[in-house]
Structure formats: C-alpha cells, structure tokens
Amino acid sequence: MTDTVLPQRRSEIMRNIGPRNTLPEIYIRSQIHRMGFRFRLHVRKLPGTPDIVLPRHGKVILVNGCFWHGHQNCKKAGLPKSNVNFWKKKLTRNQKRDQENIAALVGLKWKVLTVWQCELKNAGQLDRKLKKYLGTP
Ligand SMILES: [Zn+2]
C-alpha cells in the first residue's frame, strides 16, 4: 500500500489536531449524509482546515477528539501521567488554536458547530443536535 500523505504533512496533522478520519468524524459524516446534506471534507483554504464544511449552508462542523482538543470537564481529556508539562503546553496550544480558528471562521461569516468525541456515547442526543444545527437540506 502506498502512503499518499507526505511525511511533512503527516507530522503537521499529528502536531495540529491528531488523526483525521476518526471514528466520530466518520459517524457524523454518515449521519448528515443520510439527512440529505452535501458537504466537503478537510477544506484547507478555510482557517484550521475544518473537518466538515457545508458550503451551500455556510456551516462548518468541527469534530474534536476530547484529548487532543482539551475538552473541559471530560473524562477522556485528562493529562497523561508522564511528560505532564509537555502535554499541558501542547494541549493548551491546541485549545488556543481552536479558539482562533473558530473566531476566524465566524469572521468569515461561517456558522460553526463543535462536536466532541464523547458526544457519540449518546447517539440520539447527538443526532438531535446535528438536526437542530443543520435544519433542512
Ligand atoms: Zn469529551
């Protein structure tokens, strides 16, 4: 199998946001696809390369891993036991970058919804949240 991601791009991916195409992201994509929406993935020309973009609706969905993005008050988001300072710095930087990206997107008139990995535990609630945000196709 050939690896189509350049090493540099890969380290960028790992550094910035953790892996793409995570399980939560795949789940959400299939849900909104079933709801009848068209969307684009990982749009690099927008701030932060948002995971899911619905250009026609002016809406963006960010699917965040709780650990990488430092979900507050979340069990999945605790700091590792070793290299605490390293991780603290890194995750704080990720959170700051998320905030900056959201602000930049909003500045460009995009609506932004953040979905956290842990929200997949309650699929019914998550589906309602997505429907409420997206409205009708
Ligand atoms: Zn969480």
pLDDT in tens, 50-67: 999 999 999 999 999 999
Cα-to-centroid distance, 1 and ligand 1 (Å): 34
Cα-to-centroid distance, 40 and ligand 1 (Å): 24
Instruction: Evaluate if residue 7 carries a pLDDT over 90.
Output: no
32 or 4: which leads in pLDDT: 32
Radius of gyration of the chain, Cα coordinates, nearest whole angstrom = 15
Q: Which residues hold their Cβ within 5 A of ligand 1, which is an ion?
A: 66, 71, 74, 76, 116, 118
Cα-to-centroid distance, 62 and ligand 1 (Å): 13
Residue 58 contacts residue 107 (beta carbons within 8 Å)? no
Cα-to-centroid distance, 6 and ligand 1 (Å): 30
Q: What is the pLDDT of residue 15?
A: 47
**What percent of the chain is modeled with pLDDT above 70?**
85
Alpha carbons 72 and 129: distance in angstroms, whole number: 19
Q: What is the pLDDT of residue 109?
A: 98
Cα-to-centroid distance, 64 and ligand 1 (Å): 8
Residue 64 contacts residue 50 (beta carbons within 8 Å)? no
Residue 111 contacts residue 60 (beta carbons within 8 Å)? yes
Cα-to-centroid distance, 99 and ligand 1 (Å): 16
